[in-house]
């Protein structure tokens, strides 16, 4: 039977979070954010192993969290790299079974459910990759100008260049599912040409891979700023 390995990157700097500590270690309803993620994958019968990724200087704290919450599927802990892509690659190199299925999930998405995990894994047949996603609800506009400058200076003029067709737009989440050798190959090609993407599926897309989208969950939010914590707490209460 094919082994399924969850890779959980939790080494990001979280520069927009600004709460004095890494967002994945921030307390959410009595547990660190990353503990919610690890527990869901621990309790999911479709997952055989978990490979958490933490900053090198935070590996002891990450291992302590995993141990205290009974994450027995996590036997290998990996030090992250400079960028998310480097961190994922470090984790992929620890997986020796090229036929294994890899489920990559952000350590800052604590509301992931077992249903979404299983749905993504089940969708891999006939494709090179599967991603969880939800249809966008808002109108999306493309604009000329820096998003960061608009944040730093509200008077900055950001000019709309076009309005995108919402009916074909999806908001991408994790987990993202791949056969280990296939995603490793894409990573190797990307590093050879110095290409960095904001998600793993983009690497497969760049090198001709077929990526399928399956329905995610609107509650599967990513903790990005401090304002996301009370929202996540409210959603956790709603989920029971």
Collapsing DSSP to helix, strand or coil, 123 comes out as coil
Is the pLDDT at 153 greater than 70? The verdict is no
Domains of the chain: 4-134+169-239 (3.90.550.10)
| Own/partner long-range contacts of 13-20 (Cβ < 8 Å, ≥24 apart) | 14/108, 14/224, 16/224, 16/225, 17/223, 17/224, 17/225, 17/226, 18/225, 18/226, 19/226
Residue 11 near residue 20, CB atoms below 8 Å: no
Residue 78, beta-bridge partner list: 53
| Rounded CA separation 239/222 (Å) | 16
pLDDT in tens, 68-79: 999 999 999 999
Number of H helices, E strands in the chain: 8, 11
Residue 135, beta-bridge partner list: 170
- Full-model pTM: 0.93
Task: Tell which residue, 34, 121, 106, 115, has the closest CA to residue 71.
Answer: 34
Side-chain half-sphere CA neighbours of 109 within 13 A: 25
Residue 107 near residue 52, CB atoms below 8 Å: yes
pLDDT band at 25 (very low <50, low <70, confident <90, very high): very high
pLDDT in tens, 33-65: 999 999 999 999 999 999 999 999 999 999 999
pLDDT in tens, 78-136: 999 999 999 999 999 999 999 999 999 999 999 999 999 999 999 999 999 999 999 99
pLDDT in tens, 217-238: 999 999 998 899 999 999 999 8
């Amino acid at each position: 039977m094919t082994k399924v390995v969850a890779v959980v990157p939790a080494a990001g700097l979280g520069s927009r979070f600004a709460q004095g500590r890494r967002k994945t270690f921030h307390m959410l309803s009595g547990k660190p954010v990353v503990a919610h993620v690890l527990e869901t994958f621990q309790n999911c019968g479709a997952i055989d192993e978990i490979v958490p990724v933490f900053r090198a200087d935070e590996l002891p704290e990450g291992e302590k969290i995993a141990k205290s919450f009974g994450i027995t599927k996590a036997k290998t802990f990996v030090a992250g790299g400079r960028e998310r892509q480097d961190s994922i690659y470090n984790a992929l190199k620890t997986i020796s079974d090229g036929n294994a299925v890899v489920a990559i999930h952000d350590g800052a998405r604590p509301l992931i459910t077992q249903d979404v995990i299983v749905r993504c894994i089940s969708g891999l047949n006939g494709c090179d990759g599967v991603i969880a996603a939800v249809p966008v609800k808002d109108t999306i506009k493309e604009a000329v100008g820096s998003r960061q400058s608009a944040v730093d200076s509200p008077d900055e003029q950001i000019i709309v260049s076009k309005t995108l067709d919402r009916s074909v737009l999806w908001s991408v989440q994790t987990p993202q599912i791949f056969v280990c050798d296939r995603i490793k190959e894409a990573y190797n090609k990307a590093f050879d040409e110095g290409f960095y993407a904001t998600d793993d599926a983009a690497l497969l897309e760049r090198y001709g891979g077929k990526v399928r989208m399956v329905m995610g969950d609107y509650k599967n939010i990513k903790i990005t700023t401090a304002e996301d914590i009370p929202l996540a707490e409210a959603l956790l209460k709603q989920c029971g």
